[in-house]
Amino acid sequence: MADLARLTEVIEPEARALGFELVRVKMMPSEAGDGGQALQIMAEDPATGQLVIEQCAALSRRVSEKLDTLEEQGEVLVEGAYHLEVSSPGIDRPLTRAKDFSDWAGHEAKISMTKGWDGQRNLRGALVGIDGDTVTIDDRKAGSVSVPRDQIHAAQLVLTDELIAATQPLDTSGAEEVEEFETEKADD
């Protein structure tokens, strides 16, 4: 199993060097269906809250080079084969950092608590915010619930019309410059 704390320690300076903020580093099963694993990196440009394709590619190259260099020096951070996936967090983004819980207060979120949590395991409702290390949510069923951040297994915004309206639009520059190609159809 990969050491996520060490991976984050290595990846975060690479993201910062490009002017990005790291949102999440996670190991997960590969979507390629090959039984392998994927190292997922989510980052954002603080100016837009997203990354465009060129920014994802730049971060991917930097991280790949850094991980290769460390491996050549004898430090293997991910055992075995894996895919590197670099992406923007998206509109219904995960909430991983303290600032996420304050920046997105007022929007609908869903929170899953760790298995050892004593209380309602899944919460969904308007995110109130964070005070210290305590996150508060107005759960649809339980009302106002405050939980320690370290007991949260996963938290994510819920896609709503209000969230879409509050989110800066994706960069669409160049979209109007679509190139069309004709292909020849082979005779049967």
Q: Domain count of the chain?
A: 2
* pLDDT surpassing 60 at residue 38: yes
What residue numbers bound the domain in which 139 lies? 98-166
Q: Are 78 and 111 members of one domain?
A: no
Q: DSSP secondary-structure letter at 186?
A: P
Which pTM does this prediction carry? 0.80
DSSP string, 112-151: EE-TT-SS-SEEEEEEEEEETTEEEEEETTTEEEEEEGGG
Look at residue 29 in the predicted model and tell me its pLDDT.
Answer: 85
Evaluated on CA atoms 32, 14, 12, 167, the torsion sign reads negative
Look at residue 188 in the predicted model and tell me its pLDDT.
Answer: 41
Q: What is the CATH number of the domain that holds 81?
A: 3.30.300.70
Regarding predicted confidence, which is higher, 51 or 165?
A: 51
Q: Are 82 and 109 members of one domain?
A: no
Percentage with pLDDT > 70 across the chain: 86
Last residue of a domain, one of 56, 87, 118: 87
- Within a domain: residue 171? no
Q: Are 109 and 151 members of one domain?
A: yes
Q: What is the CATH number of the domain that holds 143?
A: 2.30.30.100
In degrees and rounded to multiples of 5, residue 180 shows phi and psi of -110, 140
Q: Are 75 and 131 members of one domain?
A: no
Among the ranges given (21-25, 115-119, 125-129), the one the predictor scored with the smallest mean pLDDT: 115-119
- Within a domain: residue 110? yes
Look at residue 31 in the predicted model and tell me its pLDDT.
Answer: 72
CB atoms within 10 A of CB 26: 16
- Rounded average pLDDT over 132-155: 96
| Numbers of helices and strands, H then E, in the chain | 4, 8
Going from the C-alpha of 53 to that of each of 37, 133, 164, the distances in angstroms are 22, 34, 20
Q: Are 136 and 61 members of one domain?
A: no
- Within a domain: residue 182? no
Cα–Cα–Cα angle for 32, 89, 20, rounded to 5 degrees: 115
**Buried b vs exposed e over 10-20: b needs ≥16 C-beta within 10 Å?**
bbbebbeeeeb
Q: Are 74 and 118 members of one domain?
A: no
pLDDT digits (tens, 9 = 90+) for 57-101: 999 999 999 999 999 999 999 988 889 999 999 989 999 999 999
Q: Give Cβ neighbours of residue 40 (< 8 Å, ≥ 6 apart).
A: 24, 25, 26, 27, 28, 85, 87
Amino acid identity, residue 113?
A: M
Q: Are 21 and 79 members of one domain?
A: yes
Q: Torsion over CA of 89, 155, 5 and 34, rounded to 10 degrees?
A: -70
Confidence of residue 186 (pLDDT cuts 50, 70, 90): very low
